[in-house]
Amino acid sequence: MRLELRDVRYVYAPGTPFEVEALRGVSLVVEPGEVLGIVGGTGSGKSTLVQHMNLLLTPTGGEVLVDGVDATTLKKSELRRRVGLVFQFPESALFAPTVEEDVAFAPRQLGLDEEEVQERVLESLRALEAGELAARSPFALSGGEKRRAAIAGVLAMKPEVLVLDEPTAGLDPATREDLLALILGLRNAGISVVLVSHDLDEVAEVADRVCALQEGRVRAIGTPAEVFYREPAQAPATVRVASLLRESKPEIGAPVRFAETLDALRALQGA
């Protein structure tokens, strides 16, 4: 599935003293089977942008296209099945007595038979390496386990694009690493992932492309190297380190991921 936003504008509280133009002509594409990182400071429009991807918010101007079709002509239920959105701290919405029941809730709303529902529940929990949580109460889980259970509920809808808004917020470092590995696993399974994060280091590790927002506009979009090396002072630690060496050691190239940067530094040391 190819998801495209063309010249999207969005105004909160139009015509009132509280009017705010949150998006100012944003254009971008989510390609099939990629991880697209969305970065930017507070108030840059990140969360507003991703809520347009399944029309939780309808553009004030511009359009959203799904495989070239105007998204407003599609049934919202079908659009939101195909483009799943996981808000920050999604575990706050867990409500059922068991994880299995919670994950099954959304697929049941599709009118699927119970065998298909159970298959989807088990499949999504396995994909998140959370199969052992099925019979447990969501209220007795750790923070990381709750996060996985909540994401599994969206994954059980079999979205083609999964939008994650700050999915690692509040997690410990080990759980954060596990979740980033799961994002790559979802991409390898053919699901496009849109990752919204203020943490540039985690975006650098998993993103195929990066869109940087500033004051409701696209400041830069491209590969992580193309975006982050434009302004190394506002880049992940790996890029800041490599940038300090590039003037005297251009052979270091433009590494972004931690392992790439470590290899480049080792190569310089051995040269």
**What pLDDT does residue 88 have?**
83
Quote the pLDDT of residue 271. 56
* Spans in the chain with pLDDT lower than 70: 271
Cα torsion through 156, 55, 67, 226, rounded to 10: -90
Q: Which pLDDT belongs to residue 233?
A: 83
Which CATH number is correct for 3-228, 3.40.50.300, 3.40.640.10, 3.40.190.10, 3.30.420.10?
3.40.50.300
**Which segments of the chain belong to CATH 3.40.50.300?**
3-228
Query: What's the pLDDT tens digit per position in 144-198?
Result: 888 889 899 999 999 999 999 999 888 888 888 988 998 999 999 999 999 999 9
| Dihedral Cα 207, 53, 47, 127, nearest 10 deg | -50
Say how far apart CA 178 and CA 187 lie, in whole Å.
Answer: 15
pLDDT recorded at residue 130: 87
pTM to 2 decimals? 0.92
